Structure 1
């Protein structure tokens, strides 16, 4: 079992290991449990037995739960159950469910305690750690939300055994990203056969990937500087999710987006790291993308949350573990998008697309 400390004004511990769902303890007497409809029933029953929640709310799976309509409905359920100010919200499930649960906790009665129990690799490495919560709008991903750190995070590695291989590979994108921006030792470890549910390299590689994010958010919770580096590959990734109405999953979109960011980095004089991003795409084997044009994705990239009054900023790399923020000239964005499209099509032939 590994424990990673997240510091800052509201410190907490991330615990990584097997059997954690049956060992949970929270100080609050009344708890609201939020989980997605497709979560294996034994996980829900174990947590219900352990925590005896006042109310359990089932929400739609994946990003279908991250809407203002679902968010409003969950708040109403908590109010109907009379969850008190000294109660707590527990988010159980993948990254989308814990994002929603955190935003509910941040806003119900102007803020109640929050705990996360991620059950996917993506949720463990990324969404459950760092206090970012929120929902999507039709105009883009994660455009509404709040910073609301959890009281604790429990990553029960036993839950990963239930994931289809493609879903596990989605989460590996965020772990690999942490290798590119901060800890290059993670790169071969993520692609190793040992990094798999039940594998001998799972717990330590997962904990070390989480430690990268824990260190960053300890130093910069509200993304005033360094935390933006965690968005490497995400500008295009979020655009791919939005333009396909989430037909492309987050983890696979990040895999694609990291390669685009590597191409931009090289174009602006950085080291050529495309061998790493192409190696990851080859390992992940993501689903085919639609036949997209630059005009399809640019409106969504332009609304990226790293944008400011002067335009869109991209997270790029001078070299491994040397990230920086930059505004990229439009002609470079367009040219490298063409290169990116050729690279990914060579690995995964594009499918038809009905967009503009």
Structure 2
């Protein structure tokens, strides 16, 4: 097992990574302060892991709430249902919400926890690789709106993250690889040595070999934990973690959150951001080629569907939370390991990349 500590003044928490953690209730139950617990999961994950989790809740007053599976269910309506479930439970200020699932469950459950009585504890128990290496760490919670992804939410840090790598055995390969895209993103942003390590271990990670997988998860989480500690509410450096996200979120929204997975959108978005960086004279083509080659070795997409019009994607990109005063503000790079925030990107340059992808 590996432990990554997210260091925030008075609100730090551990990220535990390794096999057998779901059954190790003595470890994570100590992070529950009261007697009321609501477990939020979905209809795919609950039949597999809810029983194992709730065996660790013996003696507490707990209940569960299940969402339907899928990004399209990350809505205000379902937040309201979780809040109703907390009310039915009689949850007090020291209650705890446990998010058992992927990023949709974690984002929505965390947002509900942030809302109930103006903020109660929650614990992340991610069951997808994507959630383990990204959304479970850092305290971003929220829901989607019809006009865009994650446009409503709050920063609300968990009490702990329990990343049991055993649960990844039940994850379909496509969803697993979507999580690998986020690992690649972390290396592409700020760690060229990690990027080279991924190039050397790509086949083992694609096969889910345990030792390199745990190391990759821990390295990505450790990098993100450092960024979050320095910039919790994304006033500066933390925005760099969104490399590829402005493009990716637009692709997800254009596909009604059902055409591509988030990690696939990130993979495509990173390539588009790299190509735009080339176009603007910020980065060399060799770095883009290395990125594309690694993503392709890992079985990830590197270009958007031709079905989406460049102008429509640009309109969606304008709704990104990083934009200011109506101008595009994108996370681009200056080569592997050197991301940068770039304001005032011209529409014609973005359209040129989208049209030529």
Confirm or deny a common fold (TM above 0.5).
Answer: yes
1:193 to 184, 199, 203: 203
1:7–1:218 Cα contact (<8 Å) kept: yes
Q: Choose from 123, 133, 143 the match for 2:131.
A: 123
Superposed, which structure 2 residues align to 1:201-220 within 5 Å? 201-220=212-231
**Candidates 24, 27, 38, aligned match of 1:32:** 38
Q: 1:267 to 1:241 in 2, by over 3 A?
A: same
Shift of 1:212: 1.0
2:327 aligns with 311
Q: CA RMSD in A?
A: 1.5
1:21 partner SS: coil
CA offsets 1:2-52 (integer angstroms, 9 cap, x no match): 111111232111110110011131333221100011115231100011124
Q: 1:226 aligns with which of 230, 237, 244?
A: 237
> Corresponding residue for 2:94?
86
Using the TM superposition, name which of 199-208 and 95-104 deviates more. 199-208
Q: Is the 8 A contact 1:16 1:207 kept in 2?
A: yes
* CA deviation profile, 1:314-337 (whole Å, cap 9, x unmatched): 001112222111131111111122
Q: Aligned equivalents of 1:51 and 1:171: distance in 2?
A: 29
Q: Secondary structure at the match of 2:203?
A: coil
Partners in 1 of 2:36 and 2:197 — Cα distance? 41
Contact 1:12/1:152, CA 8 A, preserved across alignment:
yes
Residues 103 and 126 in structure 2, CA contact (< 8 A), matched pair in contact too: yes
Name whichever of 37-46 and 299-308 sits farther off. 37-46
Once the two structures are superposed, residues 48-95 of structure 1 have per-residue CA deviations (whole angstroms, 9 ceiling, x without a partner) of 111246110001213133101111111111111211111111101101
- After superposition, residues 158-197 of structure 1 pair within 5 angstroms as 158-190=166-198, 192-195=202-205, 196-197=207-208
Structure 1 equivalent of residue 56 of structure 2: 50
What is the aligned counterpart of 2:248 among 226, 237, 242? 237
Report Cα offsets for 1:233-271 as digits up to 9, x if no partner.
000100000011012110111110000000111112222
Aligned to 1:20: 21
Query: Following the alignment from structure 1 to structure 2, what is the Cα–Cα distance between the partners of residues 131 and 185?
Result: 27
* In the alignment, structure 1 residue 255 sits paired with structure 2 residue 267: yes
Cα distance in 2 for partners of 1:82, 1:185 equals: 50
The alpha carbon displacement at 1:100 in A equals 0.5
The aligned residue for residue 132 of structure 1 is 140
Give the match for residue 278 of structure 1: 292
For residues 123 and 133 of structure 1, the distance between their equivalents in structure 2, rounded to whole angstroms, comes to: 12
Superposition pairs of residues 278-297 of structure 1, within 5 angstroms: 278-286=292-300, 289-297=305-313
What is the CA–CA distance in structure 2 between the aligned matches of 1:77 and 1:199, rounded to whole Å?
A: 37
Shift of 1:198: 4.2
